[in-house]
Amino acid sequence: MSLLEIESLSLTIGDTPILRNIELSVAPGEVMGLVGESGSGKSITALTVMQLLPYAARTTGRVAFDGIDILAASEDQMCALRGDDIGMVFQEPMTALNPVKTIGEQVAEGIRWHTGASRADAEERARKMLDRVGLPAAQFPLSRYPHELSGGQRQRVVIAIACALKPKLLIADEPTTALDVVLQAQILDLLRDLVAENRMGLLLISHDLAVVTEMADRITILRHGEVMEAGDTARTLSEQLHPYTRQLAQASMHVPARARTHEVGQGQPLLRVDSVTRDYPGRRTSLFKRSAPTRAVDNVSFSMTSGQSVALVGRSGCGKSTLARMILALDGPTSGTIRFRGQEITGKSEADLKSARRDMQVVFQDPYGSFDPRQKVERLVAEPLHVLEKKPDGAERREMVANALHEVGLSPRDMDKYPHEFSGGQRQRLSIARAIITRPKLVVADEPVSALDVSIRAQILDLFAELNQKLGIAYLFITHDLIVARAISDEVMVMHDGRIVERGKTSEVLDHPQSEAARALVGAAPDLHRAIARRLREQG
């Protein structure tokens, strides 16, 4: 018998239908993967099971958990279920924990609430649970606060809270999306072990097909609030009977067509980084004392030529973004020099940097945060024109913006809209339009596609590739996602603890990694082909 059974569930908010006839079930000890792009209704489905829906939501159909009719359950009944029989893990470990409570209190809270255990008993159980999720007492006493932990450690605490009472069902909504690949692999291992130990049902929600394939026994694919296809993971993904399944699978492995690639060391270097180091001053421990400085970037040297596409890969916190900021002259190195087109850009005034800025632009990760919400697209995209010798007049400016929008596949009519009127993918296109409007020689892109859905991601990667061919722009891609690196770069540099530990042709580094850091990244990266193959092999 199934643990969770959802039958013909429909949900509307106001007059807008959100879910239509959802069918889904999870058996004890089974991992069910729920896949779909943003807005497909994955999270709403999870919230329906928890009955944490917004007030305006109206549901029809049947949701049964362990024999209880969830849709008819009272709030009191749900309170007893939530956190006890059903646990939930959220995407963002940075905000899922209360910053003013210790991790011990937060894990013990649910135990005391549901079992009425004494403080000492609850703390003892909390301790055991934290040990189980890989946070041993020696390093992680109960008295630690969330800000003292890294992202991966915090997600372990969130999992400890969710699993503290050995729930029958765990709902994990994008549990690893905010983490780098190595942490992702560790967290997925942990979840897999917990499922096996407690015969827990796991509803794993993700936009990442590869992650779900590695984890889930069965898979349900959602689109626009409807189930497109459901079934055994390996069979569904190897046969790809439904066109949308095929589309998703292809998009997640998409490699843009690039006519020519640029070889290493051709011609004059466009960018030359010479033994650059960046220290951040340590925290002030008293009026006269500081703790030792943190070295974010440690003696990094490399160079790039025109038109070359280089990926800088590494785990979160390895110094990638700091290095990028220094290259963009938004931050100065503690020592070392950076030369762009032969000119030194370190320690220059903003006025002296103008000509360099014209040829150097940036695309950020977050398509929501990188635009001033109060300005229209015309002004936003035209922002870099500020550095031109001769400032274009109004009509010229509109013409240039229109051209840039056209180049990234948007309509010139979009010029008079505000950023909130665009979807995430469209905003990333705007971001690229802004970056290419001055016809730069180098674009630094900091995780430019990691916030996007797979199909949108494929389109944006194509756009990057196309612009590289058409305009000869060199790219420095900063990413933790090896699939992106493989798709778009000629060369890969692997960064670890502030140093560049490996550099070479993309295929060579990714297929035959030499350094330990590179091997860890490659080993942990989810790969759809490999995952499907393994599943098929296991099933014989």
Partner 1 sequence: MTLRLDMPEENLASILGKAFGNRSFLAGFAITALVAAVALVSFLWTPYDVTRLVIADKTQAPSLAHWFGTDHFGRDILSMIMVGARNSIAVALVAVGIGVGIGVPLGAFAAARGGLVDEALMRLNDLVFAFPALLSAIMITAIFGPGAVNAIIAIGIFNIPVFARVARAGALAIWQREFILAARAAGKGKTLITLEHVLPNIVTLLLVQGTIQFALGILAEAGLSYVGLGTQPPMPSWGRMLFDAQTRMVVAPWMAIFPGMAIVITVLGLNLLGDGIADILDPRSRRRR
Q: Is 376 one of the binding residues for partner 1 (CB under 8 A)?
A: yes
Q: Is 330 one of the binding residues for partner 1 (CB under 8 A)?
A: yes
Rounded distance, CA 124 to CA 118, Å? Answer: 10
Q: Is 370 one of the binding residues for partner 1 (CB under 8 A)?
A: yes
Task: Give the nearer residue to partner 1 in terms of CB position, either 272 or 354.
Answer: 354
Task: Give the nearer residue to partner 1 in terms of CB position, either 235 or 398.
Answer: 398
| CA-based nearest residue to 252, from 195, 305, 302, 212 | 212
Pairing of strands 491-496, 474-479: unpaired
Q: H or E element: which one contains 166? A: none
Rounded distance, CA 269 to CA 48, Å? Answer: 56
Q: How far is the CB of 413 from partner 1 (least distance, A)?
A: 6
Q: How far is the CB of 440 from partner 1 (least distance, A)?
A: 10
| 8 Å CB contact between 90 and 84 | no
Q: Which of 109, 274, 366, 497 binds partner 1 (CB under 8 A)?
A: 366
With CB under 8 A, what is the number of residues at the site for partner 1? Answer: 37
Q: Is 371 one of the binding residues for partner 1 (CB under 8 A)?
A: yes
Neighbour count for residue 456 (Cβ, 10 Å):
21
Angle CA 257–263–272, to nearest 5: 115
Task: Give the nearer residue to partner 1 in terms of CB position, either 243 or 373.
Answer: 373
Q: Is 418 one of the binding residues for partner 1 (CB under 8 A)?
A: yes
Q: Is 167 one of the binding residues for partner 1 (CB under 8 A)?
A: no
Site stretch for partner 1 (CB under 8 A), options 71-79, 215-223, 335-343, 357-365: 357-365
Neighbour count for residue 361 (Cβ, 10 Å):
24
Task: Give the nearer residue to partner 1 in terms of CB position, either 412 or 504.
Answer: 412
Beta-bridged to residue 493, according to DSSP, are 312, 503
x/- mask, partner 1, residues 55-84, rule CB under 8 A, reads: ------------------------------
3-state secondary structure of 355: helix
Task: Give the nearer residue to partner 1 in terms of CB position, either 387 or 524.
Answer: 387
Task: Give the nearer residue to partner 1 in terms of CB position, either 312 or 328.
Answer: 328
| CA-based nearest residue to 476, from 437, 511, 435, 438 | 435
* Residues in CB range of 501: below 8 A, 6 or more apart: 494, 495, 515, 516, 517, 518
Task: Give the nearer residue to partner 1 in terms of CB position, either 416 or 516.
Answer: 416
State which of positions 384-413 bind partner 1 (CB under 8 A). 384, 386-387, 398-399, 402-403, 406, 412-413
Site stretch for partner 1 (CB under 8 A), options 22-30, 159-167, 379-387, 481-489: 379-387
Q: Which two tokens stand for residue 349?
A: 């005034």
Q: How far is the CB of 236 from partner 1 (least distance, A)?
A: 38
> Helix, strand, coil: what percent of the chain each, to 5?
40, 25, 35
Q: How far is the CB of 325 from partner 1 (least distance, A)?
A: 8
Q: Which of 362, 456, 482, 488 binds partner 1 (CB under 8 A)?
A: 362
Q: How far is the CB of 66 from partner 1 (least distance, A)?
A: 41
Q: How far is the CB of 53 from partner 1 (least distance, A)?
A: 22
Rounded distance, CA 535 to CA 214, Å? Answer: 8
| 8 Å CB contact between 21 and 226 | yes
| 8 Å CB contact between 509 and 502 | yes
Q: Which two tokens stand for residue 178?
A: 């905010």
Q: Which of 369, 470, 472, 530 binds partner 1 (CB under 8 A)?
A: 369
| CA-based nearest residue to 35, from 237, 178, 195, 198 | 237
| 8 Å CB contact between 7 and 30 | no
Rounded distance, CA 189 to CA 193, Å? Answer: 6
Task: Give the nearer residue to partner 1 in terms of CB position, either 132 or 398.
Answer: 398
Site stretch for partner 1 (CB under 8 A), options 309-317, 354-362, 484-492, 503-511: 354-362
Task: Give the nearer residue to partner 1 in terms of CB position, either 248 or 382.
Answer: 382
| 8 Å CB contact between 469 and 475 | no
Residue in the structure block whose two tokens are 């973004």: 321
Task: Give the nearer residue to partner 1 in terms of CB position, either 298 or 344.
Answer: 344
In Å, what is the CA distance from 157 to each residue of 170, 206, 478? Answer: 15, 20, 29
Rounded distance, CA 404 to CA 381, Å? Answer: 8
x/- mask, partner 1, residues 273-312, rule CB under 8 A, reads: ----------------------------------------
Q: How far is the CB of 393 from partner 1 (least distance, A)?
A: 14
Q: Is 416 one of the binding residues for partner 1 (CB under 8 A)?
A: yes
Residues in the site for partner 1, rule: CB under 8 A? 328, 330, 350, 353-354, 357-358, 360-362, 364, 366, 369-376, 383-384, 386-387, 398-399, 402-403, 406, 412-413, 415-416, 418, 420, 431, 434
